Chain A
Amino acid sequence: MAVVTLDRLSKRYDGGKENAVHEVSLTIADGELMVFLGPSGCGKTTTLRMIAGLESITSGVLSIDGRIVNPVPAKDRDIAMVFQSYALYPHMSVKDNLAFGLKRRSVDRAEIDRRVTDVAATLGLSELLARRPFALSGGQRQRVALGRAIVRDPKVFLFDEPLSNLDAALRASTRQELARLHQRLQATMIYVTHDQVEAMTLGDRICVMNGGRVAQVGTPIEVYQRPANLFVARFLGAPPMNVLKLPIEGQGDARAMRINGAVVPLEAFAPEALAVLGPEALLGFRPETARLKREDGAGVVLDGEARLVERLGAETIVTLALPNGTEVLVRAPGDTALAMGEKAPLSIAAGDLYLFDPVTGEAVARR
């Protein structure tokens, strides 16, 4: 277990015009599972590899347990990594794959055997110890890769999209196994993924990254319910948050937005924050918070027309056209009786509305 601290970590490749990773600052607590989440190319894997020591750090300070590890080579950082492609040694048996790192560290033979047997038993690999990687299935290889890391008993575990090469069913069960593993080992883990389900279910905290920078760090609920900017708001949640660009009318406390006659009051938001906005702002609400009925006392009530109704059994996704022509998605109960072309009202509670600055993308603070 260890505390990992990133202090303005940056990475620029030779010949690169800008930083692949720009001034990432973060502290990962002892025993925490931190997820780096973001789209491809956002710098999450590069950051992970800098922590591992597989990429050089251009600027910034990386510390593990208070010790600065920038100049320390990868093998001396007491870190284990599970690679996306598993990276098993093709010419060694499962047993040798598991034991290799320990042998290289001159661990006592009996100790190696003990640890390998234990880990193999935990991961269900005991029958496969004599096999070579080519004779294993994808799921089995992944467990060997995991075992190789566990057997090392490192300070920090690093995971580089370990589930992305598995089929959907295996992914779900392995994900749960990883969660249980974290609970049992109580180890510090850093997990990279582009899949928000993995991030939400596994992470103690999530670090959302975009374009080489940190967009937001927080617990899964925090980043979901209180996104700090438009990117995080739209990245988490499926279907993604509906966002409308609307002009702001009025002054001071009477500020409001208007959608073809319906008024959206902005009292929930801090006046100082509203004051710095320009003439327009972005209004957002999540598909699951909108109701297809007329609710009095709601923040906003609109009239819409159903353009598309997709019945999934457990829920229904309705594409609703608003009076001003924009379409929004709504998650309705599975037994919603709505036909295409039918008119339907839309109600959203004031507390479920989000506001974003159209220029900076920052979320507008609430009162």
Chain B
Amino acid sequence: MLAVLNRSLLLIGLSLYTAFAASPFIWAAMMSLRTTTEIHRNHFALPNPPHWDKFADAWFNANYGVYFLNSTQIVLTAVAILTIAGSMAAHCLARYRFRLNRTIYFILFSTIIFPPQITIISLYQILVQYGLYNSKLGLTLVYVAIQLPLTIYILESFFARIPADLFDAARMDGYSDWEIFWRVSLPIAVPAVATTVILNFILLWNEFLYAVVLITQEDNRTLPLGIQRFIGDTQEDVGMIATGLMIAIVPVIVVYAFFSERLIQGMTAGAVK
């Protein structure tokens, strides 16, 4: 009897916490479907009627469409390059023994604790110098650089666990080093690669600091930048910002809905000791 009471109390407590964790998003979702006037009349009412046209309005008139496409282009390109370059490097570090191997691995790995300020000022200088400032290409390359250490870390530990026998067998079958990578390592590592793809997508989709330093032109703004532009105006168009937030959140929710387990594991990789 006491056990049942305990369990119910626990459930109530946990449900309250869930409300605490989720309510800001639900509130934003509701506001995204109401006009700013409606919102200022009553901040917590349900959308009545729900104004779905606000999304089209935000997309075209407030330029969220441009921001969304920029983000998509930059992030997908960066993730693609990350996957190829990262898996090649991880495969090499995991499978080949040479004197600089652990040094390179350690340097890459320790970069994860660097505060971004140590590179950002010089990056600004460098990109300006090479005409890559304010360009999507410049930001894409920087995005690859900042996610390389984590990507290589996750993939290297996975590649290292593949039994050496598989590689020996492939070598005896006459495969070249590149073929071994392409036909043996990569196919086996698909789960880990998928994890890094999803992880990089989420982290770069949300990235703000490098974007705000390296992009100032309206046409090249990524989604986080675009949203930020509307904050700080004295006349805040709350309704429209809420709609913009939804546009930014939806891809993340979609990825999370399909890949929640993989995403959780990717983001918490290495934290369990």
* A contacts B: CB pair < 8 Å: no
